[in-house]
Structure 1
Amino acid sequence: MEAGSRILSKLETLIESKLHHFEQKMNNISQNQISACSKLENYSFKKKGHEQQFTVNAKVMDKLRQADSFMADIGDEDSNSAAQNAREKISEDDGLGEASTFDTAKEYSIFARQDLIKFGFLIAEEKCQWEPTQQSVWVGYFWDTRDGILKVTEDRICRTELFLESLIKSVCKGVVLFPVKKLACLTGQLISMMFVFGSVARLRTRYLYDCVNSRASWCAPVKLSSGAFDELIFWRENLRNLNKSPLQSESGDTTYVCVDASGSGNCNYANVFVDASNLGVGGYIQGSTESDVVGSWLESESNLSSTWRELESVYRVVHSSIPELQGKEVLINTDNKNVCTVLKSGSNKPHLQQIAIKVDKLCTNNNIRLHSRWLPRKYNTDADFLSRCTDSDDWSVVEWVFKVLNDKWGTHTYDRFACHYNAKCKKFNSRYWCPGTSGIDAFEHNWVGENNWLKSGTMHKDRSAEDRRFRQFFHRHSTEDGRFSCKL
């Protein structure tokens, strides 16, 4: 219950600060515009909407000035009477209380009701729920303190589903232009559910935001981009799956030294350290002796921004470690603050947003709950070292030699030990995940029916272990008709 109280306190503080800032900004803008327009004689507005807004603002400011003048003129007794009349018209709405026991909650309820009556508020009893309960609907959310669950109400979910379905059907019929207010409305609905959905609500509405921001005016249609359509599909498929959140706040832990998950017996947690240099990728799982991941960049990749390289490193390290990370809570430790932000909320830069979505899809498909944390570079030296390592087994024959052997043994269809920049065939296996790979670890895949290209000195630093896996693999497939062409 204490965690639920902290959440409500944070939400109230956030709403009040945003509302106060917005009201102050709008008030300043209105005063400046009214003052400027009033000084000009025969001022003509270019747009009718601007003229209408000026008229409304002028009336509001005039009423405020009259109210200030009135309060300054009346005496204390009249002031108290005016305050009482105003109090009777105040609408106090959307309040919530909580306690650890039913009896304590009942006491709080009685106390709050009596105080409201004492201060002269008129209570709309039909809208109130004074009897304590562990399951209640409040401000569009279903609060279940018995099971510690927070959900968006079914009514809101159904309305959003209908909205999504109507847009998707329109696109399937060839419609690509939509009223900007319609897309803004949908985006607002999804963002308003972020309290339950978490940061994915921001990550998966970036392209919809781009469409809204591309408007010529609020009355003009906008073109729905392919990325925005992908987001519509995502929400249609995942809206209900995401509609469940624990009633607890996120941890504010900022310590840099983590307990070894394997040593503590917590098998559902993995602590991953990742780094990228201008040479390549490096990463490992804390407490796992054979989890080191290394890789090299293409020349074109090494020239990209450090944030792109760090994000891509996260994707490659996680992808290469799926067997160990599947179904776990995973904490990504990185020395790049932008990575934490992009993984959580996405980016307005398309090439970074694409990687963030790839990471999110990968984690969703493998039931990985990903979190990220920034730490100073001095605490990430091991991953930094791995990112600067080069693999001595990462070599290949020159093209003319491969062509000669192709002519001699027939066209090879599968390169079993390669990576994205030295593969000799369209299909290849790699030690770690890299772009284009058909699978990690060639010994875990079926070789039958392929003309396989192999090279020695790959896959393992321990050559005896490599030779042992070779023998076991060939013995297992000795009765099958796969062809194994081997270059030594």
Structure 2
Amino acid sequence: MSGFVPNREKSIWSPSYSLKWLGFIWDLRKCVLQIPESKILDLQECIGIALSNPCKVKIRTFAKICGKVISLTPAIGNVTQIMTRATFAVINERDDWDQCMDINFNSDLIFELMFWKNNVQLLRPVSLLPKANEVSIFSDASDVGAGGFIQNSTHVMYKSWTNLEKVRSSTWREVKAIELCLVSFAHLVCNSSVVVYTDNQNAVSVIEKGSKILKLQNLTLSIFHTCIVNCISINVKWIPREENEKADYLSRIVDIDDWGTSDDFFEFVDNLWGPHSIDRFANMVNRKLLRFNFLYWNPGSESIDSFTCNWHDENNWLVPPVTLAAKVINHLIKCRAVGTLIVPKWSSSPFWPLLFEEGLQYKPYVEDVFECFEANRIFVAGHNVNSIFAEGDFKGTVLAVRLNALDM
């Protein structure tokens, strides 16, 4: 022990689960670093000084605020970098440290200052150790769409890119794919530690640090907001492409049944037989109602595979792939439900005998049918422009069938 002299006044000789050290409160029961109240008040006071006279704020004041925020990184994670982008941009454009500026017209800067002033004490500290309920999500993006899945589960996310999204940068598409995964899976991974795996290194950097490119920064803020609302701790990691083959495959799916009905047609039928409560065969782009089902998880989708749901007690809007029309009718009868089915008038199709008796008499559960002769005003193309229902190629008659199997 030669040369080692303990400072008795600063030493704690009894075991403790909590102590203040290196500017943080080490809470070993929760395995987190807590921010001392004095640090929070100091930061809020500094921001208050800047906002009290927004017409004349010194660059030195912004630097002081950023320094105080960045010092909190060990406790609350990389949000300190994401939510100081606009402030650092102002600092980097300075001519002099004592230069003053008017921040009234810099909405991004004011947003960041208000965020830290109002939320610094509300941010959840990051865990010092991996959580036992850690969830792994794999994500990828191609020129066709975005795909992702939760490891060791059957939960899959897929979205086709719109024409506008297709021309975005590869980094934007990769970050967007991660955002879509988190929003789609949020109800499944809430209150968890999530590791997102991607094969794009730029995406990792953007989510960890934010970006000076507005579109990328907005995606980063959306991801951060999703994590805060759902109590998700996120860690993004890069993996080689060959270890991300499943997500890559999902991102390249082509939805051959990506088509829907026009808003005007839906409104007309909804006024006739509505209000409908849920769209059973839709995605986040072509849905007609807030509640919808899709084959894969999408942001906002209530569930996947509508045939696993009970349709009873709902007024179902049913615009399925034609190949599933017979299955739709049988499932509605099984659930003793009501709904409106939109199908082409194809008398040779398997669903036809389920709707009509010989002589075109209605089945007992068919309440009403009306024929629509202007298909080009009914069907709307999705991302599969080769679909028979795309771009006005379909010239046949369309049936709107009102089904009621409540008494079956």
TM value normalised by structure 2: 0.68
| Cα pair distance change 1:160/1:298, threshold 3 Å | same
Higher strand proportion (structure 1 or 2): 2
Give the counterpart of 1:301 among 150, 162, 165. Answer: 165
CA contact (8 A) 2:136 2:196 kept: yes
1:153 and 1:413 map into 2 onto residues whose CA distance is: 54
2:72 equivalent to 1:209? no
Relative contact order (C-alpha < 8 Å, sep 6+): which is higher?
2
Query: Which residue is 1:380 aligned to?
Result: 244
Superposition pairs of residues 24-423 of structure 1, within 5 angstroms: 111-113=3-5, 129-130=10-11, 132=13, 134=16, 136-143=19-26, 148-168=31-51, 170=52, 175=54, 177-224=56-103, 225-242=106-123, 244=125, 246=127, 268-289=133-154, 291-397=155-261, 403=264, 410=271, 416=279, 417-423=281-287
Identity among equivalent positions (%) equals: 25
Query: Which residue is 1:12 aligned to?
Result: none
- Measured after TM superposition, the shift of residue 377 of structure 1 is 0.6
- Measured after TM superposition, the shift of residue 311 of structure 1 is 0.6
| Cα pair distance change 1:214/1:428, threshold 3 Å | farther
Query: Which residue is 1:487 aligned to?
Result: 342
Q: Deviations over 1:323-349 (max 9, x none)?
A: 321222211111001111111121122
CA contact (8 A) 2:184 2:301 kept: no
- Measured after TM superposition, the shift of residue 448 of structure 1 is 9.2
Equivalent position amino acid for 1:279 in 2: V
Equivalent position amino acid for 1:429 in 2: F
Equivalent position amino acid for 2:321 in 1: G
Higher helix proportion (structure 1 or 2): 1
2:50 and 2:124 map into 1 onto residues whose CA distance is: 21
| Cα pair distance change 1:277/1:111, threshold 3 Å | same
2:291 and 2:200 map into 1 onto residues whose CA distance is: 32
- Measured after TM superposition, the shift of residue 306 of structure 1 is 0.7
1:447 and 1:237 map into 2 onto residues whose CA distance is: 45
Unmatched tracts of structure 1, length 5 or more: 1-107, 115-124, 252-265, 479-483
Q: Deviations over 1:370-407 (max 9, x none)?
A: 1111111111111111111022332124x5xx756755
What is the total number of aligned residue pairs between the two structures? Answer: 332
Query: Which residue is 1:9 aligned to?
Result: none
1:448 and 1:233 map into 2 onto residues whose CA distance is: 45
Q: Deviations over 1:12-32 (max 9, x none)?
A: xxxxxxxxxxxxxxxxxxxxx
Q: Deviations over 1:227-265 (max 9, x none)?
A: 2222223323431233745556x89xxxxxxxxxxxxxx
1:446 and 1:213 map into 2 onto residues whose CA distance is: 58
CA contact (8 A) 2:50 2:61 kept: no
CA contact (8 A) 2:56 2:102 kept: yes
Equivalent position amino acid for 1:295 in 2: K
Q: Deviations over 1:431-473 (max 9, x none)?
A: 2566xx76544978999999x7531239x99985x66764566
Structure showing greater Rg: 1
Equivalent position amino acid for 2:33 in 1: L
Q: Deviations over 1:203-225 (max 9, x none)?
A: 11112212222334322223432
Equivalent position amino acid for 1:204 in 2: M
